[in-house]
Structure 1
């Protein structure tokens, strides 16, 4: 009886707070959508650096996706699981896009490899032309790659880039797979969203995704620590914090609400849990949109290098300096800056480049990651087969030797009997 009264009281509380929460969340979502779409269109119109901006647009699009999915889930609670799946899939892709953006800002993969190899040589005190293959193998045998990644990432060289890419792509693959797995489990009634019980799939999926996300973020942090000095021109710390806050906070926010529900700090009402999560995300996306306007500004892409065409603008700055040598006439310092304004670009062409070029890059990285994951498994299977084959050959050889030893003994006994 008391349980029914509690559930009815929580149900009435949910209905009382639902309409005000929906209006407040809608206002924040409107702000988030307006600011984010405006910033995305600005990047598409000033699409002068495709290698960087295609990933910037992908990261910025995270706010409209999160905001629209959250308000849709809050308005129609029955669609909450489907919205959560789409939101999680794009979260993984956005994390991958941010990693690709850092690589593009460093000049591409080849430039990053040269940078990391140079840092590795400096740390190992190896001359540029005396890096023999034997020494490289000896250092790898002395400390494994995984050990060095945790404690001495600076000596890994290009292997650090490989680990970083693998860490981001594995999260994108696992996040997508687990999202659709959760959908299937929900259809059969064994998912149990927010329920930490062994006969539900939620705790196992949450455990896998927690480990996968922490590994991906750790790989990104290690890569950032190695390259942040070369990224000072793009204010990497502000970008890193603003993006990481969205990915990290929203996921752990959902886990935290589920834990509060499991410990009965929050009521066991499923609508209240999902509604609270969606409401908080709506507010957070408005804050993230404001931060993105300053952090991912289009100002660096308004001007081109001198060898490109465009509108040339000249800015002159005069500064008066008063000298202390008794002269009454101040000295005048004039500085002249010439900038070339970039022409506007077609939004259609920009979107086409993002979809085609970005899609091809994603497919290549996914295929490479799958091959890297399958490679050790294939080697292990080959070693197991070789071991069994070697054992069978050894046993067969021992059987042949035993037969050869038995035959002479039989012949000797026969000759003695004849005599």
Structure 2
């Protein structure tokens, strides 16, 4: 979340950047500042009274040692009166709670690099690569190909759980495993430490990365224990360092994890969610970095290049978009989306997002490092999909179909054990 001091010192800038995200109501910023002024006044009054109590208590000790019991008793009565008047502490706590609750409702400020816009049509294509294939006559979309080759059973998933929970079978299950292992190996070879985190997190973890209170309706909630199924491994992995002070020499911290991901995706229906296009459970490999704040934008460029190289290795046509303010996530300062082209569907499919959160998440989680002066500072956090499997699989199947077979990219041959399905 944002820091009150920064908001107070940069009110107009904060409002201007929030407007780029189309955040409403901006009056929350004014409400916050009124509460903060009240908090500062109450804190000053409380500190003054506490100082008087401390001084009087010390004087009482001196008087008792000097045998001036009557004077000490009078001063004790005065201290008791001061303590009785310190009810402002109750109001102070209430005001601080109100400030915290408002801060949770205010999104991260978009970077000045973020394009102005409201919808996906306003996103900016940064660059693209690969060649869009020309498919043979009679080419099929992936939902027909998986049936033809016995890779996924959507109806069985409906039976066991419901729509959006596919069952991968035979070579489909093997290909999932092959891609997961390849993605993890690609990441660890470049210095990311592999993590196998829990698939459920507590409320504090969900607040830490910003899923709460922004996306509670999108998460599956195990109400008896008040746990949440993770929408992405970003949540448990970043929370590893919650309430920790990292040695500056240990920065950057690079982590990668494979997990299933669970998203309710309420209201999803229609042709755009057919097959693998949108699921309630899917597999994803994630990369997360915690870095020195001076280096987070260089790190962002490095992570974007990392994901781009991974997609290039899969021989898929792709494009990279810088998201406009209105299409960005709540916690992000800047986001790049990666899309691959699905030739049979004749559409671009999002397969990765790489984001810099600056200090927004780490302020919630109190992830800090000590600078050269020994003063704790917040690190910056970044994350990216590397990769989300369903739409990658859809594009691989559709774009590489020929003569009744599906050709796999070379990088997967040693993992899958064959060059084609």
Q: Which has the higher strand share?
A: 2
Higher relative contact order (CA 8 A, sep 6+): 1
Q: Does the alignment reach a TM-score above 0.5?
A: no
TM-score (norm 1): 0.23
TM-score w.r.t. the length of structure 2 is 0.23
Higher helix share goes to which structure?
A: 1
